Structure 1
Amino acid sequence: MKWKSHKAIARVISHEMGLPYDLEKALCEGSVDPDRRPDTLLRISRDGRGHVIRAPHHHPHTGTVMGHAWMARRAYLQGNHYWAVRSLGRALHYVQDKSVHTGFMFWAHDSREEAIAKIDPPLKAVVMGMDMAISSPDFVRKCIVKVRPRRNASDAMYQATLYSSAIFASVFTSPGTTEKSLNAYRRALRRRRLKWAFAAGMLAFSALAAFMLDSPMALVPGAVMAAAILAIDPHYRRLKGEAEWFGLR
């Protein structure tokens, strides 16, 4: 998108949220930062060499966007609202660019961005985005993944505004959490510790067997089982992220 479009979305979100001028300006500036100071990625070529490349905007890596969203959330929890807003503006830049279908070999890139620049961000999309927001890193990730390139300029602007608003509301929600979610994290943490203890026991037993049998291969089954025990934990990683999101760890 053009800078005009990025900043227009930032302004309409700022007005709906009632941000003071300095934070509105920070969000606007953050929303164009990736064009001024691009993020970089390390790409490994087939010959094994590493190359530093510019992070793609229209097909961004979810991890790149989530990294900036996490920076924003951590700054928010620390009370640094300026840096939180600026960091989130950077994340939203990728969400907005991802909404634009560039066409084959980028042939339609400029014309589509010109068409989008003539459209105001719809207030309806801002309100809907904020209403559907859930304060959760999992929600933010799902929003990023749901964004699809749109050929129609109005659809692209609507989608970009909708998900930008939803992510903004998700990140800038009070760190208060429920007793239920806190207890869930504590239970998951206890389960994780028990699994580590059991996995350590399996390794110790395998090491003893290898020593008694004078066969290093006896270590293999125990190591495999220990790794499997630690890997089969579908809820812990999600709850760990939720706990950090709410400042519990």
Structure 2
Amino acid sequence: MPDRPSLHWSRVAALALVLALVVIGLLQMNGRADPAPQPEPVLHSTRADLGELDDRKRLAWIADRDRGYFGTRTSLYHSCHDGSPETYYSNGSEAFRQPESEEVLIERHATDRGATAWQAPAWLPPPPPQPDKAAPPPRESPVRQRELDAADVDAIEAEALALLAMNAPPIRGEMGLDGQSFVLEFCHRGRYGLFVYHNPDAGDPVEKRALDLANRILVSGGAKPLDYVEHLRLPP
């Protein structure tokens, strides 16, 4: 009779040891199992190079506090977080076409969600005056204006937000002999977006999406879209 309790506890201890070994084995098997495949995030590194003169000029132009649009609207870079209306802007440039560069600004109405678009050939700042000559007069740039439906601006808004969600780089590409580039800028409810692409590659899904949006804005305002071209790259 006195041996039965010790026999009972020995069985319990043996059973606990077996269960512990089983648990350890299961944990080891689970650690060796291949992890479930995870979708790769769409991430792109920026291509801004402050050693490149053109990139420095573009960034300085965008961040200039005196920069405006069509004479009255101030820079989105500085005004977006201060309650600027929902605004979309595109500036497209190609070296071998007339006019060389065009720009469109779309500003959304708060009431009917439609928008007003302004379009004109883009102008560059005049060269500095020569010491012995008078400053040249500024170039004239006629501005055209048109109204857009809410559905058109909804499509532009969706594409702009999609670019932000893709983590698309704000500056990308290399200058080429054909000089194609575009500036895409927008302010969506206090959220600022910027994309400056040189020689966009239509074979790259991110660059093509950004170029498509820049062209959508240009066409909505009455400007000519940029062509999809095989670029003439500058030699390394």
Query: Shorter-chain TM-score: which interval?
Result: under 0.3
Larger C-alpha radius of gyration, 1 or 2?
2
TM-score normalized by the length of structure 1? 0.24
Larger strand percent:
2
TM-score normalized by the length of structure 2? 0.25
Higher relative contact order (CA 8 A, sep 6+): 2
